[in-house]
Amino acid sequence: MESSTRPAPKDTGLSPGTRSSMLGLMLIAPTVLVFCAVIVYPLISAIYLSLFSIYTPTMEGDWAGLSNYKVLIQSGEFWRSFGNNLVWTVGTLTLQIVFGILVALVLHQNLWFRSLARSLVLFPYFLSTVVAVLVWRWLFNDLYGVLNHFLMWTRIIDMPIDWLGTMPNAMISMILVGAWKYFPFVVIAVLARLQTIPDELYEAATIDGAGPVARFRDITLPQLREVLVVIILLRTIWDFKEFDLIYLLTGGGPVISTQTLPLMVYKEAFALNQMGSASAVAVMMMLFMLVFMFFYLRKAED
């Protein structure tokens, strides 16, 4: 018997089930440690900081209680930033969804060089935001930007447009660039779902007399509903907290016309050196996001 040559397992006095649980806990331990150090601690710390009035360079300050929050709630800038945040999120998300579904439907068809087309469409999503913004700022350049030249050449406009320096142009440009950068996420997810809809469903509908429009409305859309809910929740969360793209494209300007909450956090902390009130903005922002995070977590459970 081979088993007799094996040393008996060490008698630890623990049941095998417990021994296995302990191994499991050992394996998760590094994760838990890192989580506590770089996520849980800072998270609690952020809430704690928001109760102080702290000068960033010296990192010293006094207890302020809830006064940071009181100031915020009465501040026009905070609500303006929150409003901008909503406009940006709703605007760019809508474009992402509409355009994402459209492109996914096109790429789902039998296209020449389909896999090349798919790769090209996905590319902006993986591109560094820095690169995306640099490219777009060059396209948007008021004197030498190709966008203005093209629009003037086609006679759509007769004067160059200041894409980033005036309102509402800056917000629209921002929403457009956001849509360009992030719609591939929708394409990926919708395309994956489209591929799982059985052809029999379409064949059955065709036999029942449904035309292309009816097939899309009665089969494709209902089948996409589940995945769209998840996409919308995820993208809402991500678009709401977007910092890089807005900071790099407009910096929140002109003045604070495109400033969203994440930008306000950064400005308070590192331009105005008010670490305490910056934390308060961050905490408030997280509270708004918790609603969506809660719905997403509930969805993810299923």
Partner 1 sequence: MSGISVQGVSKSFGDVQAVQAMDLEVAEGEFVSILGPSGCGKTTLLRMLAGLEFPTEGQISIGGQVVNDKSPADRDIAMVFQSYALYPHMTVAGNIEYPLKKRKVPKAEREERIRQAAAMLKLEDLLGRKPRELSGGQQQRVALGRAVVRDPAVFLMDEPLSNLDAKLRSHMRAELIQLHRRIGRTMIYVTHDQLEAMTMSDRIAIMHEGALQQLATPKEVYARPANAFVAGFIGMPPMNLVDAKLDGDGNLSVFGRQYRFVASDGPGHSGEQTVKVGFRPEDVVLRDDGEAARVAIVEPTGHEVIVVFEIDSARIVGRVSPELDLKADDQVRLAPRVERIHVFSGTDGDRLGGVHSEG
Partner 2 sequence: MAGQRSFARKLMFNAFAWTIVLVIVFPLIWMILTSLKPQSELFMIPPGFFPEQVTFEHYWRLLTETPFLTYLRNSTVLATATTLIVIIIATLGAHSLTRFAYPGREFLARAVLFTYLLPSVVLILPLYFLMINVGLGNTLASLVIAYTTFALPYALWLLRSFMAGIPDDLEAAAMVDGASRMRAFVDVILPQALPGIISTALFTAILAWNEYLYALVLVNSDDVRPLTTGVMSMLVTSFNIEWSLLMAASVMMSVPLIFVFVFLQRYLTRGFGAGAVKG
Binding to partner 2 by CB under 8 A, coded x per residue (else -) over 57-96, reads --x-------------------------------------
Between the alpha carbon of residue 200 and those of residues 104, 174, 204, 207, 227, the distances in Å are 20, 42, 6, 10, 20
User: Which one of the spans 8-16, 126-134, 139-147, 235-243 is the region binding partner 1 (CB under 8 A)?
Assistant: 8-16
Cβ(143)–Cβ(160) under 8 Å?
A: yes
Q: Residue count at the site for partner 1 (CB under 8 A)?
A: 10
Q: How many CA atoms lie within 13 A of 72 on its CB side?
A: 24
Total residues at the site for partner 2 (CB under 8 A)?
A: 88
Q: In this complex, which beta carbon is closest to partner 1, that of residue 12 or of residue 273?
A: 12
Distance between CA atoms of residues 82 and 285, nearest Å: 8
Partner whose footprint covers residue 144, from partner 1, partner 2, none (CB < 5 to 8 Å by kind) = partner 2
Distance of CA 125 to the CA centre of its chain: 11
For 274, which DSSP code?
Answer: B
- With CB under 8 A as the contact rule, the residue among 90, 106, 221, 272 that binds partner 2 is 106
Answer positive or negative: Cα dihedral of 277, 279, 284, 289.
positive
Residue 16 site contact among partner 2, partner 1, none (CB < 5 to 8 Å, cut-off depends on kind): partner 1
Residue (20 or 273) nearer to partner 1, CB: 20
Report the residue number, 1 or 159, with the smaller CB distance to partner 1.
1
Could you say whether residue 17 binds partner 1 (CB under 8 A)? yes
Contact set for partner 2, span 150-189 (CB under 8 A): 153, 180, 182, 185, 188-189
**Looking at 63-71, 86-94, 162-170, 267-275, which segment touches partner 2 (CB under 8 A)?**
267-275
Q: Is position 209 an interface residue for partner 1 (rule: CB under 8 A)?
A: no
CB of 283 vs partner 2, minimal distance in Å? 7
Among 7, 58, 112, 159, which residue interacts with partner 2 (rule: CB under 8 A)? 112
Answer yes or no whether residue 26 interacts with partner 1 by CB under 8 A.
no
**DSSP output for 71-110:** HHHH-HHHHHHHHHHHHHHHHHHHHHHHHHHHHHHHHHS-
110 binds partner 1 (CB under 8 A): no
- Among left, alpha and beta (phi > 0; psi -120 to 50; other), residue 14 is beta
Q: Which CB sits closer to partner 2, 134 or 229?
A: 134
Q: Is residue 15 part of the contact set for partner 1 (CB under 8 A)? A: yes
The overall longest dimension of the chain from CA atoms, in Å, is: 92
Per CB under 8 A, the list member of 3, 31, 109, 195 interacting with partner 1 is 3
DSSP secondary structure string for all residues of 181-217: HHHHHHHHHHHHHHTTS-HHHHHHHHHTT--HHHHII
